[in-house]
Amino acid sequence: MRTAEPELVRSAIDQAAEVGFEMVILSFGSGFNAENNDPAYLAQWKEINDHARSKGIELGCYSLYSSRSIGGGNSIVSPEGERPAHGNCPAITSEWGQEYLKKLYGLFETTGFTIFEHDGPYPGDVDVTARPPLQKGVDDSRWVHWKIWSDFYKWLRGRGVYLNAPDYYYLSGSNKCGMGYRETNWSLPRAQQLIHTRQNIHDGSWMKTPSMGWMFVPLSHYHGGGAAATIEPLDQHIDHYERMILSNLAMGVQACYRGPRLFDTPRVRDMMKKHVAWFKAHRDILESDMIHLRRADGRGLDGMLHVNPGLKEKAMLVVFNPTEKDLEEEWVIPLHYSGLEGKAEVSVNGGESIEIQLDGMKRGRLKLEVPAGGFLWAAFKE
């Protein structure tokens, strides 16, 4: 959510609930201040959070930590010849750092928020400064900083808070990390953003399952690129919006849809409801492990295969056609990790099932017909 104006946030919550979304985050630049511990301010946001919960929506916020320059002796001082990973980094063991942490604990205890987007978590910088009683300096600062932050993240996880953090804090309570995109990608023309989306998901899912990463959809102006790079007005660009939604959901990836609203007309709302409902109907297989088939290049079909032998739907193939012409190809589908052998039942785009034979390496052949700019999915069962 790009604004923290209360009535607009309530409207966004209502829209999210209507189309089947599950989370609203008060994003960077929204005006929400996670460090404002005024009781009246926190009470206002508790009331809005209560409204979100009544609609089945999780609500939370963003806060910037690493890369901030605090001053007054509150920033990490690197060893000679080194500098912080992000240029600057506050010392969580400093007076400012301890107050910042106290405010974050209070924020979640008071408002009941269940999402936190932390940008970015402590990156491992060494601080030479002695900050008694918490740290001695260069010999223990990295451990002390990591321990303080990992304890906070584990506390959040214990409260059921969903944590987005652009670093590998998975074992300390984090849920998601970025898929490897660069923010300037979202200043490119819309058609190029589509290709970048699927390229980054392909490249960013070798070391994690799809739901462990996030992507980005700039509904409104982001870094640059002007009108050619944004989706607003949404109805005017509904075809692109639909392709962006499918490029993420069909890969099992949740994106940050950054803007003031999710839909601006009934047909955009209905389009979103349709695809969110499809995703939820197949969520288990779409969020399962992926077999990387063909990386997007904008010149032909690209696709991914989800597999999970423990499900009724053992595999799901998702294929995209970014070109301006209809394409027909026969693909060899590697079903070894699906648990299928001998044969498989295949339903294309929810149609009538057909039986295909699998070879000794548990591969099956499937003819694909994907319209220009279109999408195909195929579910595999025993």
- Strand 363-370 to 327-334 pairing: antiparallel
Residue type, 328: E
**List of domains in the chain:** 6-175 (no CATH), 183-281 (no CATH), 289-381 (2.60.40.1180)
DSSP string for residues in 91-146: -TTSHHHHHHHHHHHHHHHHH---EEEEES--------S-BTTTB-STTTHHHHHH
State the Rg of the chain over Cα.
23
Measured in degrees and rounded to the nearest 5, phi and psi for residue 227 equal -60, -30
Closest alpha carbon to 272 in 282, 262, 280, 283? 262
Report how far residue 201's alpha carbon sits from residue 287's, in angstroms, rounded to the nearest whole number.
Answer: 13
Report how far residue 26's alpha carbon sits from residue 4's, in angstroms, rounded to the nearest whole number.
Answer: 6
The answer to whether 177 and 132 are in contact (CB under 8 A) is no
Report how far residue 181's alpha carbon sits from residue 256's, in angstroms, rounded to the nearest whole number.
Answer: 13
Residue 318 bridge partners (DSSP): 304, 377
Q: Which residue has the tokens 């695809």?
A: 275
Report how far residue 43's alpha carbon sits from residue 370's, in angstroms, rounded to the nearest whole number.
Answer: 52
The answer to whether 81 and 138 are in contact (CB under 8 A) is no
The per-residue pLDDT string of the chain (382 residues; one tens digit each, 9 = 90 and over) reads: 999 999 999 999 999 999 999 999 999 999 999 999 999 999 999 999 999 999 999 999 999 999 999 999 999 999 999 999 999 999 999 999 999 999 999 999 999 999 999 998 999 999 999 999 999 999 999 999 999 999 999 999 999 999 999 999 999 999 999 998 888 889 999 999 999 999 999 999 999 999 999 999 999 988 888 999 999 999 999 999 999 999 999 999 999 999 999 999 999 999 999 999 999 999 999 999 999 999 999 999 999 999 999 999 999 999 999 999 999 999 999 999 999 999 999 999 999 999 999 999 999 999 999 999 999 999 999 9
Side-chain half-sphere of 158: how many Cα atoms within 13 Å? 8
Q: 10 Å Cβ neighbour count for 371?
A: 11
DSSP string for residues in 209-249: -GGGEEEEEESS--SS-GGGG---STGGGHHHHHHHHHHHH
Overall pTM surpassing 0.85 (yes/no): yes
The answer to whether 375 and 322 are in contact (CB under 8 A) is no
Tell me how long the chain is: 382
